[in-house]
């Protein structure tokens, strides 16, 4: 056995996404933005999907090797057309990250049917539609990796977030079902379940609940690793699942929450 160099070439090759194309939804801000940037740094060309045109174009310019597509992931026709455009523009789709998400902080009595439909449509129907229309293109290239961004509240309940908890719990089990169905196609399907991440959406939760922002953030950081999560913490887990380092991992959930569920 040859001596191990300081930076082993096999490790570099396994983590590299050179030559691959990644589709990231919800990539204009927060976790999605961090994922798009991380995958680009690993060598992937990135298709940025979001309804926020202004911030989406900013991420496109920041990455360089990327293209923004305005897309409502809850619309079957928009998703189908966008995935077709991505395949036409890039010639392949290797990685899909379903990161688009919304939250409504209400219990079941407070949640309107409109609230319910909005959360389920973005958080659960969106990943279903994007995966449905991406998988045929992935199969053409012999496989790939789908990573769904769920939540720790998809594994346990949380207060005043009934629609959100339902959507993320459904997404986790949808991940497992897709992994079973598409392993034969060379497509791995996994899930990352973040805890409280320092994003605009987390601050929006405090506003919805009508609580003091600083106290809310301090409470959210009270976990074994005493800090809020950073979007990059989630992006690192996604890079692992998108790369060949996880080539025998499918149907799994990686919890990234500083020990909050421990």
Cβ neighbours of residue 60 under 8 Å, at least 6 residues apart? Answer: 48, 66, 67, 68
Q: Which helix (H) or strand (E) holds 93?
A: none
Residue 91 in tokens: 């010639």
As a whole number of angstroms, the distance between CA 75 and CA 118 comes to 12
* Spatial CA neighbour of 75 closest among 132, 125, 146, 131: 125
E-strand spans in the chain?
21-25, 45-50, 66-70, 95-98, 144-149, 187-194, 253-256
- Dihedral sign from CA coordinates of 243, 249, 250, 256: negative
Positions marked catalytic:
164
As a whole number of angstroms, the distance between CA 96 and CA 180 comes to 17
Residue 147 C-alpha from the chain's centroid: 6
Residue 146 in tokens: 């789908």
């Amino acid at each position: 056995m040859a001596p191990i160099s300081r930076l082993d070439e096999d490790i570099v090759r396994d983590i590299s996404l050179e030559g691959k194309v990644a589709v990231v939804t919800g990539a204009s801000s927060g976790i999605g933005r961090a994922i798009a940037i991380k995958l680009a740094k690993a060598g992937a060309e990135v298709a940025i999907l979001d309804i926020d045109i202004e911030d989406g174009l900013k991420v496109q310019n920041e990455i360089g090797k990327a293209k923004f597509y305005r897309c409502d992931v809850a619309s079957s026709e928009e998703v189908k057309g966008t995935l077709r455009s991505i395949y036409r523009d890039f010639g392949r789709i290797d990685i899909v990250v379903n990161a688009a998400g919304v939250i409504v902080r209400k219990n079941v009595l407070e949640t309107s049917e409109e609230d319910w439909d909005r959360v389920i449509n973005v958080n659960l129907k969106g990943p279903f539609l994007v995966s449905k229309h991406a998988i045929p293109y992935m199969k053409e290239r012999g496989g790939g990796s789908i990573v769904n961004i769920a939540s720790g509240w998809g594994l346990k309940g949380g207060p005043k977030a009934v629609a959100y908890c339902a959507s993320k719990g459904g997404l986790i089990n949808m991940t497992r079902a897709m992994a079973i169905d598409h392993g034969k196609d060379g497509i791995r399907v996994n899930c990352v379940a973040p805890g409280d991440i320092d994003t605009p959406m987390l601050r929006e939760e405090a506003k919805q609940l009508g609580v003091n922002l600083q106290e809310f953030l301090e409470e959210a950081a009270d976990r074994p690793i005493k800090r809020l999560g950073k979007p990059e913490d989630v992006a690192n887990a996604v890079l692992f699942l998108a790369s060949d380092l996880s080539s025998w991992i499918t149907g799994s959930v990686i919890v990234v929450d500083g020990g909050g569920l421990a």
